Structure 1
Amino acid sequence: MLKIRPIKIRDSVIVLCCVMFFNLYTAYSQKTIKDSLYQKIASFKLKPNYQKDTLYINSLYTYGKAYGFYNLDSLNSLANETIELSKTINFAKGEAKGYIILGNYYSETGKKELAIENYSKAKAIAEANRYIDVTLLSKSSLATAYTYNDEYAKGLKEYLGGIEIAKQHNDEATLAILYINITVIYSLQNEYKQCIHFLTKAMELNKRTGNERLTAVTLINLAATYIDNNELEKASEKIDEGLPLLEKLELQDWLTYAYELKANIFLKQDKASKALKWFQKSEVIHQDIAQTRYKISLYNGMSKTYLQLRDYKKTEAYALKALTLSTDLNVLDERDEILKTLYELKKETNQALAALEYLEAYKAISDTINEKNNQKELKILKSNLEFDQEKERYILENEKVAAKQRLYFYGALLVIIAFSIIIYILKRNNRTQNILNRKLTIKTKQLQNKERHLVNSNHTKTKLFAIIAHDLRGPINSFKSMFDLFTNKQISDAEFIELAPTMGESIDSIAFTLNNLLSWGQTQMNDIITEPEHTNISDLINQNNALLSKMAEKKSISFENKVTESALTWSGKNQISIVIRNLTSNALKFTPEHGKITFGAIDKLNHWEFYIKDTGVGLTKEALDKIFSTKETFTTYGTNNEKGTGLGLVLCKEMIEKNNGSIWAESTINVGTSFYFTLPKAS
């Protein structure tokens, strides 16, 4: 699937800068304007005290934001000069603009946090001084940076804030740009209907403002959305409509993207030769602009194309180029596709070991990408957006009703009798409205109470689904992929048998996770009943150690059970067995090879205090504060990269408390961790 996010982010940083203040770019050749700006800057330097001239500072900013991507070192220099000169003469607006182009520099070089920091400085200055144009620019740039940093919720907030300001000030050009940029977040969630909705609104505004540049950008973004939605014919139409405008306006950065989209359409249609032609056109332009991050998508596409053409040497060369850039810039997007291409290349060229390495890397990076989703908060904000849309419709409907009421009122003024009747009606309506308002207040409180009840009721379901999606879907999909490869004879019987032990361990892990999920789900639904009986804890420890012996032998970890047969408790045997199994499994997970796990009991007045001590890596104070929390899921990888759900300790706490006991932990880093729990003595 084509990922349009990086290009749209580029639009937020560059297009918004260019269009908001200087639509003159749509009227002249970029090269002519670039030369003109450069000459203007040179002429300023001939004047005395030119550093204190705000026009000179503005010229630096204009040149940097419009042409800085041709030379990133030059962009960095222009940004710092703009900031320093503005500070010297207390030119706050110039300082804010300087931070924006400095943010652009860090964004283009992959330094996401520094980009966010500089855009935030620009926004703070602009808002404090009520510079509406710079506020809108900084908010859109900051939203772009947040999105690029996978902080989608923060990005969406900034976009919505910008849209609200643009509407208040009737800034249709900026509003169109924000509508284009906000579709980045929806495209990441595959919400193509929402993307098309906002892009269509942007096109309506572009027609009113007559902005050719934004029209071309919107058409290309629509094409990208249609490609992602597999509507290739519509995508091709939009590209063919937008390309002449891009070529006319000489928008080199957008031309590279349009050519790549055209190539990807042919690639999806298995027309590799035609796809290569368009990728090569994009590559030629990339040689003249310093936009390293966007070469990842280009090289990735070219490697896929050469793979279809069976030119394996160039396939590997371009894939490795893309992988190197992705790693250097710490960009995860498309890295999974690059690794998949390398895996397919090595498989087709019968390099089984290399193919397996790339397959494992592909699976690992896919899991990492999946873990970075911010679904929950995004859905909440999406609901807010839908509410705002509904509010707009409601306001429009109210305005229509109000217009009719005014018409009736003016007509009624012509006749005194009609006026008296209207007074009477208004009074009666007022009394009715008061009654309705009181009823509405009561209903609102009832709805709020029901909402709180529903939130609590759905908490368990949400957590179960989250864990199933995170910890069960991945391994199960891996099994499916492996069996598909075996069924399609893409791996041999011997290779499949070699993977059997690993699959067995994964199945054990899935079974353990499912048992915990079912047990925890029952406790949350109040369907589990604690049935206390005389329980021999030493026997339970021995039984669970036998079940976990294979895992212990694999890491050469020894068990020592110091709990005597006299340690009898009045508790639910099955529940306490679950607790011991989870705590022992946890100790095995975090204990390195040749370690030791000790089980013991301390005789107290009315209860037994049991402990499970390991010689593992230990836990930080911050981790100790989180491990039993029901508000968030806390999990880390073990010493052999074992995975957990973060649910086991929460389940232990609930089970122990249901048996009238308590549980806690003590730990020292690199020494070990001890888990303690108490249970009532048997009579």
Structure 2
Amino acid sequence: MTKVLKISLFIYLAWAGHTLWANSWPVLDSLNNAFHNATTDSGRIAVLFNVLESLNYDNVDTSLLISEKLEELAQRQSDTVSLIKIASQIARLNLVQGGYREALKSDQQVYTYAAAINDTKNAAEALNRMGEAYLGLGLFNDAYINYQAAIEKSEEIHDSLMIAIATYNLGRLFKATDQWTEALRYIRRSMALSEQIDDKLGEAYSLHDLSEIYLEQGDTSKMLESLQTALSVAEEADDNIIKPQILTKTAEFYCIKNELLRALDHYNMAFNIYKNQSNITAMASVNLGRAKIAMRSGQNQKARNYYEGALEVAKTYTDVKLLMNAYDGLATFYERQGDFRQSLDLFRKSQFIEDSMRLTNRNEAFANTQMEYQMAKKDRAIQALNQQEQERQLQLKNEEFLRNVLVIILAFVGLLLITLYTNNVKRRHANQILVKHQKEIEDKSHQLEKLLSMKDKFFSIVSHDLRSPINALTGLLDMLDKDNLTHEELVNVTKPLKKRLSSTSKMLDNLLDWAMMEMDEIKIHEQAISLIEVVQENFAFFHESNQKNIQFLHNLPDDIMLSGDKNMLDLIIRNLISNAIKFSVEGGEIRIDADNADEKMVTISIQDNGVGMNKDQLDRLFDSKILYTTRGTANERGTGLGLKLCKEFVEKMGGKIWVESKEGMGSTFKFTVKRSDLPDEGGEMDDILPGI
């Protein structure tokens, strides 16, 4: 959900809460909290549905605004069920306000959604509401078609309530077209259905419409009895849809009885309900009744204001029936005022509208006749086609035996083909498995060859690099045993031998680490490490052991603390310094720096100004499949294990390693290590070690 949509929804929710502050604050406060706490669009949709239920039809404008926002949320989720529910609510709200065209648009969407998911119940309800909208627009033929379709859909799912409602609406339709006998028949049928399913509200609607029929028949006592019963049921059900209609009809009854104060009270109650619903056309219709009472009470200006206000509403909302009644009322008003010309003009306008409606009804009747003719024509065509179909079926029966034989033959051939295909698939699958196994064997063979090659190199290293210092040590011991060396000769021989043994020890450490790494036996013991201490120890060691008079430099802050395995870090730095010495010339320079700009990782660089490397050497340097080594500037030999171990250990500690080099310009090895949050406990260190 976007931020703008969230804010909009909060505003509309707050508006709804403010509208009902006085009566429903605890409920809306709870709903408002639930809306803010909802973490998904589905949760917000559920909360806003609860808000609509709280509002009911007491504030139609606010309900419509919330429904529109609900529709946006449901469309974002492609939630068809919620879209049906929301569009149905929008249609109902528009019907209450007299927005028949808007209601039609919403219900057409409902019908489309419902048909897509085979929701017959909502499809039937949409058809019924479309009938109401067409009835409100005066399109009686369309209203009749939709009501009948609603009944048919409801019968499919045995929905007795919707059958009763659509039947009642058909009675209203016949009443609107002055077909009183048909109207009475349908409304009584609807009332009987409502009694069977204990639908009290349905009984109230039927009683209201029966009162109009009784009025038409001149039976005012039955009219009043029906209205009083209907009002009692509507109040018990707290239904504000039929209640104002009953109040309006009761007011008309009291006008007939010349009880004007009672009539005005009922008109006022109906007007207030319509006002809360923002039903402008219904309010204008009530004002026509108020105008009659005002005119009979001698309040001519008030009567004129009511009539003219109703006329403006009728024109604005294109309500034909309201427009005709407003013209009739104004015509009567001006006639009583003695302005016969104005009265005649208004009466003609009313008659013109009535004639137009009759013409429309006549055109609809003609259209219905045409439709019936076309349907009859189609029925005859269908009968002819049915007869042809019967003849064709008879002919097909004669061919049935031959077709069955052909089907059996085809089935046998198909079974044979399926068997052949299955065998072929199995054979290809077996071949694929063999090819896969052969490839695996070849891959393992290549791996074995590489391992054997590595083993040969390993033993070559052990036999050569270990034999030389051991032979030298053995010879020295023989000479000492025979007492053939002077003290000065012993000192001169011991110093280089010690260096060779130190180098051999370092090589053995690398071999041991490499073997453990190959067996995946090395475990990381993570701890806080002072970088400067590790560098200082290695600089001190190589300062004593190197023969090339190398300068060791650093520019490290004292407070850099790393997180990792100290032994691994020491091995990485020792091997990289040893490698830098190997490829540095006499009097060269090796520098260690650290970049701690990153919040999580420290980048350590070891730079020399030696011979550098070409692109081919760089590409092979960290290749895990080979042990790559070259001789140093003093013809030093290597095993190729040092850099391999560096790469493995750096990656095990969560870092990465790389090299930057140009031939003849030296090399810079860089690797990253995690930063530690612990403070540095080490002391200060000089920029250049003493004595270097």
Q: Name the TM-score, length of structure 2 as normaliser.
A: 0.47
The answer to which structure, 1 or 2, has the higher relative contact order (CA under 8 A, 6+ apart) is 1
